[in-house]
A = this chain, B = another copy of it.
Amino acid sequence: MGDIGELAGRLREFAAVREWEHYHTPKNLVMALAGEVGELVAEFQWLTAEESARVMDDPAAAARVRAELGDVFGYLVRLADVLGVDPVEAALDKHRENERRYDPAVYRGTYRKAPPLA
């Protein structure tokens, strides 16, 4: 996979060269992220579960989905960079918490919300 640190650096430079840093407050970036997620959701809203699983088989839909996912990922990495958060480490921490919350012996096959960890 591509390198996330390089992506963060390029997005930082993109904003600096255009003198757009004043737009890139965490508040504004989280809104931009929400807006792009809305566009990604819209690609899937009328699809059945089965159609959504085959969405990448159609070249036109696949290109749109990949482009929207790229927009979402870009804003999320930019937000993480501005906040000084390593998004992979943050996700791994939540993953480790979920491994403790969701014992496979209890939750196998059926999801339901687990109580928070004590």
Contact = CB atoms under 8 A, between A and B. Distances in A.
Give the number of times this chain occurs in the complex, counting copies.
4
Interface in A33-87: 33-49, 52-53, 55-56, 65-67, 69-74, 76-77, 79-80, 83-87
Contacts of A66: 83, 85, 90, 93
Contacts of A93: 66-67, 70
Contacts of A35: 38-39, 41-42, 45
Range of interface residues on chain A? 35 or more
DSSP class of A's interface residues: helix, strand, loop or mixed? helix
Interface centre among A1, A93, A98, by most chain B C-beta atoms within 10 angstroms, is: A1
Interface of A: 1-5, 7-8, 10-11, 14, 17-20, 23, 25-28, 30-49, 52-53, 55-56, 65-67, 69-74, 76-77, 79-80, 83-95, 98-99, 102, 104, 107-109, 111
